[in-house]
Chains A and B, each alone.
Chain A
């Protein structure tokens, strides 16, 4: 259709609507071109709750598995903190166990908790509901994806029980040390870790296929890409990143497994160990670092982008205002995603690579700050003159903004080669990445759970416990990580089991003890949160439908919690984006996405 013809058609339609003879689109909507999806109807307990093909159940399965393994990660961090804060009092952690705790804590939290929870958990639960689909496009594959994830988790956990224990190579698993004797877990632990990661990648690819194709192809009528909630945009872009980045981890895992088991020298240089020369020659440990970080940096955004998306929706709903600069938010997500593939070597400034290489990567790293800053400004401008309800999801969203800005700014410093080199491998780095990709995404996860719990269970979480949970977690996180920045400045290196009488530790001892106490308190608060979830799931206050008065489709299913097939007999038809809050000209405070223009004829177009 040529441009002019198109325009005139729009004008005639617009004229129709203004003259009052508006044809309700509900009547004029042509029959859907997408045939209704055939759903698998579960017949027994097993197929309904265990080997289930319903994306909502799979989402919950993912979330529960991720949380369970995340609790192990949390307990490991307590062990580490007790060792660092009170090395004399608590001696149950030897150096080997300490390194194993560091490694397993890192890998569990980044891959098996955050990635699985955001994409597997929230992705599965929310994608079909939010785009108006009955289920994912490949439900069987989706089920297999979860079971692959579970097997990956079990393989990982089994490494705690093999001779030599889990690997203690650090979560980056750098060769050659990761597979040499002397590193804890170099016998079986490292192999199980690599196998587990490979399984995770295969399982994730199956899930990722589903997320991407469901979002692209299975949306309901009227749901254009630019009418999707930002949550879906975040999850979509993160999944694309994951599909392209995880292969690098997979490739690195395969080659290192072979180096370990068959004695190949992909990554192993000519090396002496315990006075004997190994058979390997010429391999390049740097190659592993490149592969690992080609996965590792996009991984940061695989975690961050869904968080960006979800928090945008939380802020918009709980401030009763449309998201400021929706298009720019989408562009920022896409640009950040694209840029995340050209910054990986900023993790390798001290690896001895060409300095000009570092200059290039410092530049790209700093460019990412631009779209990221746009997002932060837009969140703040959404709040500006909004009708802010200080609900718990809103509190967590505000906590996220502050924490993310904090961690982001230290990132600007670390992104510069000249500042990174002295700060490299100190507690400053630990503080930075915990703020930006630990605490900040967790704030969003918590906010999202408080927000969507009524949808999932039909009941509210306890508000008092929730407020306690927020304030202790928020203030506690700062009590933990602010002092760590200082420790980094005075030169305390990360990953050290004990500092003994190092000169900088005279000032660091008290700080370390303070951090440990804060970490224990924050940790136990998470147990309180889990208690809240379990208790409220059965005895919580019953929630009415759409308790937050949100517009997106997941709140407008015929039943709450949504039943199998999500939307009853007919799929909803979408007439607007999900951000029509406080629209001028009408007496309704919000207009859900499926409300047709004829039902709100006086609504004015809101400038954005």
Chain B
């Protein structure tokens, strides 16, 4: 997070009752950070989600050590999904750059591509689930399976949440009732969130593949 002036620790050593400090304080505009509130909101959500996923990773690592753990063999489809998610992030990044250049028509198209790829990813994940169910690998069969289902479900839900905001930005653009600077920021924030979920997926997938 970009600091507006000083570090938090420096801020809390100020002496607000001193005359010299009061003069500085009177000029203060009331914001601690330079980021917009929407950006801070997304970042806070990312922090909370990071805590959730980290705790799952810790639980996974703890549970893994028990003798009844049987590793899951990941199907090739999961790699395809991973590539799909990487592509989504790349396209979203390009969308952001296009939006900065004000090429609205291209932005519209590439937002649709993002949506398509994201839905394809979710469908892919559901196909992986189906694959495991067909093999008789249920959540109760082994803790490794259970973690696989929980982590993919939670990651998927995060993506669905992101899609809600993607849908709002996209419909705004197509209905042409948008405020250009706000829309640009929203696209940027969505892109940031998609990159975040890609990193989360790397960590989760890496953990599942390597164990």
Residues of A at the B interface (CB closer than 8 Å) are 10, 13-14, 17, 25, 29-30, 32-34, 131-132, 137-138, 205, 208-209, 212-213, 216-227, 243-244, 247-248, 250-251, 254-255, 258, 262-266, 279, 281-284, 287, 291, 294, 322, 326-327, 330-331, 334, 573-577, 597, 605-606, 608
Contact = CB atoms under 8 A, between A and B. Distances in A.
Given A34-B30, A327-B13, A605-B18, A266 B25 contact: no
A25 B146 CA distance: 63
B44 A213 contact: yes
A266 B30 contact: no
Interface of B: 11-20, 22-33, 37, 40-41, 44-45, 47-48, 51-52, 55-56, 59, 62-63, 66-69, 138-140, 143, 146, 150, 154
B18 A264 contact: no
9 contacts: A14-B23, A222-B28, A251-B55, A284-B66, A575-B22, A576-B22, A577-B16, A577-B17, A605-B17
Contact of A222 (B13, B30, B47): B30
Given A216-B32, A251-B52, A575 B26 contact: yes
Contact of A224 (B16, B48, B62, B139): B16
B67 A284 contact: no
A247 B51 contact: yes
A443 B32 CA distance: 33
B59 to A, nearest CB: 6
B51 A244 contact: yes
B132 to A, nearest CB: 13
A279 B17 CA distance: 66
Nearest to B20: A10
Nearest to B49: A247
B25 to A, nearest CB: 5
A266 B55 contact: no
Contacts of A217: 30-33, 37, 40
B141 to A, nearest CB: 9
A216 B40 contact: yes
A401 B17 CA distance: 26
A311 to B, nearest CB: 20
A254 B139 CA distance: 13
A208 B68 CA distance: 40
B28 A264 contact: no
A608 B16 CA distance: 10
Contacts, number: 164
Given A258-B139, A327-B12, A606-B17, A291 B30 contact: no
B32 A225 contact: yes
Contact of A608 (B17, B24, B150): B17
Contacts of B23: 10, 13-14
A289 to B, nearest CB: 12
A222 to B, nearest CB: 5
A363 B26 CA distance: 43
A34 B58 CA distance: 42
Given A138-B37, A226-B14, A266-B143, A251 B45 contact: no
Instruction: State the 6 A-B residue pairs at the shortest beta-carbon distance, nearest first.
Output: A219-B30, A282-B68, A264-B146, A263-B140, A282-B66, A247-B51
Given A32-B29, A217-B32, A251-B52, A266 B12 contact: no
Given A218-B30, A327-B15, A330-B12, 8 more contacts: A14-B19, A25-B26, A213-B40, A224-B14, A225-B12, A255-B59, A282-B66, A608-B17
B113 to A, nearest CB: 29
Contact of A282 (B22, B67, B138): B67
B143 A283 contact: yes
A223 B12 contact: no
Contacts of A225: 11-12, 14, 32
A254 B153 CA distance: 11
A284 B14 CA distance: 48
A250 B37 contact: no
A208 B67 CA distance: 40
Contacts of B24: 10
B177 to A, nearest CB: 16
Contact of A247 (B17, B40, B52, B69): B52
A248 B54 CA distance: 10
B59 A226 contact: no
Contacts of B16: 224, 226-227, 326, 576-577
Nearest to A576: B22
A224 B28 contact: yes
B71 to A, nearest CB: 14
A14 B20 CA distance: 7
A484 B82 CA distance: 59
B31 to A, nearest CB: 5
Contacts of B44: 208-209, 212-213, 243
A418 to B, nearest CB: 28
B193 to A, nearest CB: 14
B59 A266 contact: yes
Contacts of A264: 139-140, 143, 146
Give the residue among A221, A279, A330 with the most B Cβ atoms within 10 A: A221
B69 A251 contact: no
B63 A220 contact: no
Contacts of A283: 63, 66, 143
A221 B63 contact: no
B26 A222 contact: yes
Contact of A287 (B26, B52, B63): B63
Contacts of B28: 221-224
